[in-house]
Amino acid sequence: MRVPIVAGNWKMNKTVAEARDLVAEMIPFLRDVQGVKTVFCPPSPALLPVSAMLQGTDIGLGAQNMHWEEKGAFTGELAPAMVAEFCQYVILGHSERRMYFGETDETVNRKVRAAQAHDLIPIVCVGETLDENESGRTSEVVSRQLSAGLQDVDPASASRIVIAYEPIWAIGTGRAATGPDANRVVADVIRPALEKLFGAQTAQAIRVLYGGSVKAGNAAEFFAQPDIDGALVGGASLKADEFVKIVYVARAEVLKGGA
């Protein structure tokens, strides 16, 4: 059974003091939630203080990016070992990194392999633009991102990878895909691409999250889908009550499925 993940990508928001306040507000409600893995992904200056606050809880910590090189003259970057010192997860290939910072499927691939080498769990983002969606190219684009981004990944540890399907046209726009539409992409495009790479058993073991304007009000629509295993949450993760509600919605779906 795939354990759902609800990960909050805070993006470039929250000072260290604000991050502490947000985490302190959420910990009492999330520290002992069973059946759902909660992950906070704050900006890099907050990783150390948030890591200290999460000690003794089951809440995971993730970085929003990292470099693939072990060390060197890469001003402003984080090496894999620096991330692994505090984090268990790392977001890779987010559309904003691709759009604004020139990331490619090839650089994402290097980062995925570096993350695996340091026992980090990569949350690999894939998704199509509005033009690509409307021109019927979703399958082509997402399949390419997966095949290139996960090329030469060790099959023995591939089941630990997390995929986040984030249609770019739904990120920060308030325009979410429908649950059935998102599930169709996961079931008909993402899992077959993963099966081609790693085999059927591993493809079914890999967790696939949905991201793109997920809120407490629409989360159940996505979590109820058989091939969607949680969410990568953006703006709603910056509001303690909203993010907690999303986690609780995921937990309710787990309990419903076990009934």
- Catalytic residue positions, numbered: 94, 166
Nearest-angstrom CA–CA distance, 107 and 43: 21
SS3 category, 110:
helix
Nearest-angstrom CA–CA distance, 233 and 1: 22
The CA-based angle 162-166-172, given to 5 degrees, is: 130
Token digits for 81?
């070992």
Amino acid in the structure at residue 56: G
Nearest-angstrom CA–CA distance, 26 and 54: 11
Amino acid in the structure at residue 49: P
Token digits for 86?
């505090």
Q: Are the C-beta atoms of residues 255 and 224 closer than 8 Å to each other?
A: no
Nearest by Cα to 61 from 123, 110, 126: 123
Nearest-angstrom CA–CA distance, 230 and 207: 8
